[in-house]
Chains A and B, each alone.
Chain A
Amino acid sequence: MRLKQLPLKEIKKRLAKQGLILAIGPFNIAIKSNLSTIAENLQRVYSEFSVLTDDALIDFYVRVDKPRSIRRWIKPQVFFYFDDVSPFLPLPASQAYPLLEWGMNWCIAKFSHQYLILHAAVLEKNDSTIILPAESGSGKSTLTALLTLNGWRLLSDEMALIDNLNGKLIPIARPISLKNESITLIKNVNNDAVFSDIVDDTNKGTISHLKPSNDSVEKLENLGSAKAIIFPKFNKQSATIVAKVDKANAFMKIIENSFNYNVLADVGFKTLSRLIQNVDCYEFQYSDTQEAVAFFESIISPEQIKDDYS
């Protein structure tokens, strides 16, 4: 059953009682919360995801709730709980939904060492999968949102999951986290795009999550094989610049963008070696979003990329 088939009342009931169990890529996550905002936002941006029954095996038990203290009422706060333990400081109650998303990121990054996890977006079109590793603020998510609105399938926005056993990219296709001006930019590109509530004054600025395309969620079972790694960088002053990156340098840059390379040790080294050996690597600087999308379309054609960017 898809989440969109559940009425909001039922979503709220499950969140408040046994937990709403969502199959999010390779993870089954049981979510609990008494907050209406959690139910409403989940219904909006996870509507295409499968809801599992109570007997499903759970990877992560998470909860977002107000504390049982005065901060429930005065300058209200919310806590994120993992297995009923709160690993973070509380945030203002208005940030409950982003806190749930960040908390789920934390669970995956901390406990999913069957994968090499990169801070990277992953997109696929015409069987060509592209990895975009990038630091925060590089415009990765904006680019990811633009590409998904241009027919690219989202495998992930925040975390690339690379299977240590076979090097395949595991789709997770959670909502795309957009910040500040990117939210308006994407809304202007597509009026029909569905967003979670816009939340101001977070540590990252104004935040909203873009619902992934239906196609991306329907194809969660389709693993990706990387064709290229592109390090994107948005620079208002820059023309579109593409430069090939030496593979050994790309290797070192990716280590900097990994959540668990050091934890995995030789396993991470072998996974990354296999990945890099089979892809071309580029640095990509852009300011014009249309040119950026055109560049990614060109990547799908192997002849063109060899001729133009080598």
Chain B
Amino acid sequence: MLTFPAKIEVTEFENSVVVFDYNSGQTHNIDLDVYDIICFIQLNSPIESSSVEEKFIANSSPEEKTLLSTYIRDIINSLVQLKLVQSVECD
């Protein structure tokens, strides 16, 4: 299950956003596509990782779905590493 514990400040630019994370004090330069995923998790937290994938691979061909799923999983893993998103075990 993915949660969004971060309190963030965001400045949007043309192709990406810069995010300040109050918890870590870190600043991140994030692609707009990735920011869409952040916003979706933030809005729907807590949410299953699979639900995030489903949301963003809808209306894709089967080949695209495989590719996109991997891509989105990588993004989620990166966001977890950056501590913008938290992955929690549920009973």
Interface set of A (CB-CB < 8 Å, partner B): 246-249, 251-252, 255, 261-262, 265-266, 269-270, 273, 276-277
Contact = CB atoms under 8 A, between A and B. Distances in A.
B51 interface: no
B13 to A, nearest CB: 4
B27 A248 contact: no
A270 B11 CA distance: 9
A246 B11 contact: no
Interface string B61-89: 00000000000000000000000000000
A104 B25 CA distance: 28
Which of B9, B15, B17, B18 gathers most chain A CB within 10 Å? B18
Contacts of A269: 9, 11, 18, 20, 27
B16 interface: yes
B91 interface: no
Interface in B1-60: 9, 11, 13-18, 20, 22, 25, 27, 29
Nearest to A265: B25
Contacts of A265: 20, 22, 25
Nearest to B20: A269
A146 B14 CA distance: 34
B18 A248 contact: yes
A248 B15 contact: yes
Given A265-B25, A277-B11, A248 B16 contact: yes
Given A266-B20, A269-B9, A270-B9, A255 B15 contact: no
A273 B27 contact: no
B4 to A, nearest CB: 18
Contact of B9 (A249, A251, A266): A266
The A contact surface, by secondary structure, is: helix
Contact of A246 (B9, B15, B25): B15
B18 to A, nearest CB: 5
Contacts of A252: 18, 27, 29
Contacts of B18: 248, 251-252, 269, 273
Contact of B13 (A248, A255, A266): A248
Contact of A266 (B14, B22, B29): B22
A270 B20 CA distance: 9
B11 to A, nearest CB: 4
B17 A248 contact: yes
A30 B49 CA distance: 61
Q: Which 4 A-B pairs have the closest CB atoms?
A: A269-B20, A273-B11, A248-B16, A247-B13
A246 B16 contact: yes
18 contacts: A248-B15, A248-B17, A249-B29, A251-B11, A251-B13, A251-B27, A252-B27, A252-B29, A255-B27, A261-B27, A266-B9, A266-B22, A269-B11, A269-B18, A270-B9, A273-B11, A276-B11, A277-B13
A251 B15 CA distance: 13
Given A246-B13, A251-B13, 9 more contacts: A248-B13, A249-B29, A251-B11, A255-B27, A266-B20, A266-B22, A269-B18, A269-B20, A276-B11
A127 B7 CA distance: 38
B52 to A, nearest CB: 23
B53 to A, nearest CB: 26
Contacts of B9: 266, 269-270
A261 B14 CA distance: 23
Nearest to A270: B9
A261 B11 CA distance: 16
A273 to B, nearest CB: 4
A261 B25 CA distance: 10
